[in-house]
Amino acid sequence: MKKKIVNGLHSAYRFSNTWTGTIIIVLFVIFFVAQAFRIPSGSMKDSLLVGDHLFAKKFAYGISTPHIPFLEIPLIPGTDGHIIDGDEPKRGDIVIFRYPNNTQLHYVKRCVALPGDELFLMNKILYIHPREGDDYAREMFKGYELVEVEGKLWVKNPYAKEHHGIHNDEKITDNGIFPMELFNFGPIQVPEKQYFMMGDNRDHSNDSRFWGAVPYGLIEGTPWFVYFSMDADYKVRWDRIGKTPYDLEQPEPLSRAVAERIREDANDHELY
């Protein structure tokens, strides 16, 4: 039995060294494990930056239907976008998906609402009422301001405490030039098996506010880690390479000089 296993491993190794074996292994990885993507726009700034090259974890939300690379033609026609269903995105996840209006394009946004959740924007601020109800909102969104509207509790500006890249642009004002959806939107309830996506760079993001929620079948995965990053001046951002989105969202540690200065200021002034 042991000899058969060893012989089998040797055969597999020899096959992997052939051109055919190499191509099959590479396609298997691209289709089912990891795929390389580049961030082309600033819609997820400051969480993900233009010029970040990352690997996507393809199996995070089930197994999506494989597509021929570059041509983006599905290899298994007739599916709903997945050959094996899996976990749904969680609130706050960064998700890679196919753009509903052109499924050959990939978008990356943050999932801000699940099927059955209700949401609206008022003066650029997002409010959500989770599908689980008021008690869930109190328990799961501790530390966030809860606002009662029409007998329901709404979480004000969810995710901003954990995901520091979420922000608005003060230069974008409601002056009649910019789309109304940036300032006021909804209220709506997210349809079943669909997910509401928004960019962290809220005033510079083409997202579900403009073209609707994303069906589960179009969801491809989640960013895994950055394998390369370069800014607009072609300078490599070494500090981002090898980091996951979670790593990139952590506050930068204070330098020793800055920390010492803070301690000196604290000793010089009374604190209330």
Q: In which element (H, E) is residue 262 found?
A: helix 256-268
C-alpha to C-alpha distance for 228 and 181, rounded to whole angstroms? 34
Query: β-pairing, 125-129 with 146-149?
Result: unpaired
Q: In which element (H, E) is residue 57 found?
A: strand 52-57
Closest CA to 198 of 206, 190, 188, 189: 206
Active site residue 57: no
Active site residue 243: no
Tokens read off for 69: 């690379």
Active-site residue, from 43, 64, 205, 229: 43
Active-site residue, from 109, 124, 208, 229: 109
Positive/negative CA dihedral, 25, 29, 32, 36: negative
C-alpha to C-alpha distance for 191 and 214, rounded to whole angstroms? 9
Which strand ranges, in their side-by-side order, compose the sheet holding 118-122? Answer: 146-149, 152-156, 125-129, 118-122, 185-189
HSE (CB half, 13 Å, CA atoms) of 30? 15
- In 69-100, which positions are buried (b, 16+ CB within 10 angstroms) versus exposed (e)? eeeeebeeeeeebbbeeeeebebebbbbbbeb
Catalytic residue numbers?
A: 43, 109
